[in-house]
Amino acid sequence: MFVTRLAPGFAKGGPLHTASMIPSDFYNDRKFCEHCQTYVSYLQSTEHSYCVQCGHPVRLFSETDWNAFNEALKERRPKGGRPPKDRNRESA
């Protein structure tokens, strides 16, 4: 009796977690250095982080990404902020 066995789990098929292939922690261990104009490894101190390559302070996002981030936040936020109070008076 000759049975070719694949490794457990391999033959089951189905979609693999391709999304998890994205290095989701890329931004966790890298920050943007304006001097190097790229995302770099950094040294973490108590208040600031510094580029390991040039020693400049780094920031979480590049300015472009930061603006995009803020724009995304604005998009989510409803205009006016609070719901109108007039809705309480519908019986009046």
List contacts with Zn ion (CB under 5 A).
33, 35-36, 51, 53-54, 56
C-beta closer to Zn ion: residue 54 or 68: 54
Which residues share a beta bridge with 43?
50
Nearest distance from C-beta of residue 36 to Zn ion, angstroms: 3
Nearest distance from C-beta of residue 44 to Zn ion, angstroms: 15
- The closest of 25, 21, 54 to 40, measured between CA atoms, is 54
- Within 8 A by CB and 6+ apart from 60, the residues are 27, 31, 32, 66
C-beta closer to Zn ion: residue 56 or 59: 56
